C-alpha cells in the first residue's frame, strides 16, 4: 500500500496571508523524509492554494513521485505535459466547490472525447494517467475502455456516511469497485475525506494499491507541531530580555 500525501492545504495557509510561508515545497521534503511514497497537489483553475511555481519546483525536486491533480482542460494539460510529473490524476472541477465533490462524469460520447483529448497528450509525454471516479461499474468500465492504467476511487461518500450500516454499505461498494477495477487491469487508488479515524476499512481492501490523503494529515500536523512552535516563540521572547542594549 502506497501513501501519497496531498499538501494542498499547506499552500492554503500560505495563501491566507499571500506570503511565502508555509512553503509546500519545503513540506514535501518533510513528507518524503517521513517515508511517504509520493506527493499529491491539485492545481486548480482559480489557483486558490497550489500555484504554478509550486508545481514547477515540486516537479524538479520530488525524490519520490509527484501526482498532479488537474481538470481535463487544455491549459492544465499544457502545464502537465511541460512539467511531466510522474502521474496525473484527472478530476472534475467546479469553481464554487469547497473541495472535489465527486468522480468524473464518464457518461456520453462528448465527455469521453473531451477526456481522450486530455489523456492522449499526457500518455504521449510518458505521464501515468489516473481518473478520479465514483466506485461504480459504469465508471470503471468506461475508464478501462479509455485505456488509462489507473483509477482513483472517490471515497467521499464513505467518509460522509454517518451510520455504521451506511459505512458498511460504502465499504462494500468500494471493495466491489476495487475488485472490478483490478479485474479490468486497472491499478486501483483511492482517496478523499480519509482520516485517522476512518481509513482502516479502506486500507484493508486488497486491490487498493495507493491512498491519497491530505486534509487529515495536514490538520494533525498543526496540532502535532503547535506546542513546539509556541515554545520556540517563548524561548525567543525570553532570550530578548536581558541580552540586548534595550533589555530591562
Q: Which residues bind ligand PXP (CB under 6 A)?
A: 6, 8, 42, 69, 89, 91, 99-100, 132, 152, 191-194, 212-216
**Catalytic residue among 9, 49, 154, 192, which?**
192
CA 213 to chain centre: 6
CB-wise, 175 or 192, nearer to ligand PXP? 192
Pairing between β-strand 2-6 and β-strand 38-42 as defined by DSSP bridges? parallel
Q: Which of 9, 32, 69, 152 is catalytic?
A: 69
Residues 6+ apart with CB under 8 A from 137: 177, 180
Q: Tell me if residue 189 is catalytic.
A: no
Nearer to ligand PXP, 36 or 213 (CB): 213
Q: Of 134 and 152, which has the nearer Cβ to ligand PXP? A: 152
Q: What minimum distance in Å lies between the beta carbon of 231 and ligand PXP?
A: 29
Is there a catalytic annotation at residue 75? no
Of 42, 49, 154, 189, which one is the catalytic site residue?
42
DSSP codes, 215-233? HHHHHHHHHHHHHHHHHHH
Whether 215 is a known active-site residue: answer no
Query: What are the two backbone dihedrals, phi and then psi, of residue 148, each rounded to the nearest 5 degrees?
Result: -75, 155
Cell output for 47: 489557483
In order, the DSSP letters of 142-177 are: HHHHHT-SEEEEE-HHHHH--SHHHHHHHHHHHHHH
Q: How far is the CB of 23 from ligand PXP (least distance, A)?
A: 19
The residues, any chain, with a CB within 8 Å of residue 210's CB and separated by 6 or more, are 1, 2, 3, 4, 37, 38, 152, 187, 188, 189, 190
Closer to ligand PXP by Cβ: residue 38 or 214: 214
C-beta of 214: minimal distance to ligand PXP in Å?
A: 3
Closest-approach residue to ligand PXP (CB): 214
Burial class (CB in 10 A: 0-12, 13-18, 19+), 226: exposed
Give least dist CB 215 to ligand PXP, A: 3
User: Shortest approach of ligand PXP to residue 227 CB, angstroms?
Assistant: 24
Residue whose CB is less far from ligand PXP, 6 or 143: 6
Which grid cell is 170? 460504502
Mind telling me the catalytic residues?
A: 42, 69, 192
Amino acid at each position: 500500500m502506497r501513501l501519497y500525501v496531498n499538501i494542498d492545504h499547506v499552500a492554503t495557509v500560505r495563501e491566507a496571508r499571500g506570503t511565502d510561508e508555509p512553503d509546500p515545497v519545503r513540506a514535501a521534503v518533510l513528507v518524503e523524509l517521513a517515508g511517504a511514497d509520493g506527493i499529491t497537489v491539485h492545481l486548480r483553475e482559480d489557483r486558490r492554494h497550489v500555484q504554478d511555481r509550486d508545481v514547477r519546483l515540486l516537479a524538479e525536486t520530488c525524490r519520490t513521485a509527484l501526482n498532479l491533480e488537474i481538470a481535463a482542460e487544455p491549459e492544465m494539460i499544457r502545464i502537465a505535459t511541460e512539467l511531466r510529473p510522474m502521474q496525473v490524476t484527472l478530476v472534475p472541477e467546479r469553481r464554487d466547490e469547497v473541495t472535489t465533490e465527486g468522480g468524473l462524469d464518464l457518461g456520453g460520447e462528448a465527455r469521453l472525447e473531451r477526456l481522450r483529448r486530455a489523456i492522449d497528450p499526457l500518455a504521449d509525454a510518458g505521464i501515468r494517467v489516473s481518473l478520479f471516479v465514483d466506485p461504480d461499474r459504469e465508471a470503471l468500465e468506461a475508464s478501462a475502455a479509455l485505456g488509462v492504467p489507473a483509477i482513483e476511487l472517490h471515497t467521499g461518500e464513505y467518509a460522509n456516511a454517518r451510520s455504521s450500516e451506511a459505512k458498511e454499505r460504502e465499504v462494500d461498494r468500494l471493495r466491489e469497485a476495487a475488485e472490478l477495477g483490478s479485474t479490468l487491469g486497472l491499478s486501483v487508488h483511492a482517496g478523499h475525506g480519509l482520516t485517522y479515524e476512518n481509513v482502516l476499512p479502506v486500507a484493508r481492501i486488497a486491490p487498493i494499491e495507493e491512498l491519497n490523503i491530505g486534509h487529515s494529515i495536514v490538520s494533525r500536523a498543526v496540532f502535532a507541531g503547535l506546542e513546539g512552535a509556541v515554545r520556540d516563540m517563548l524561548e525567543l521572547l525570553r532570550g530578548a530580555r536581558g541580552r540586548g542594549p534595550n533589555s530591562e
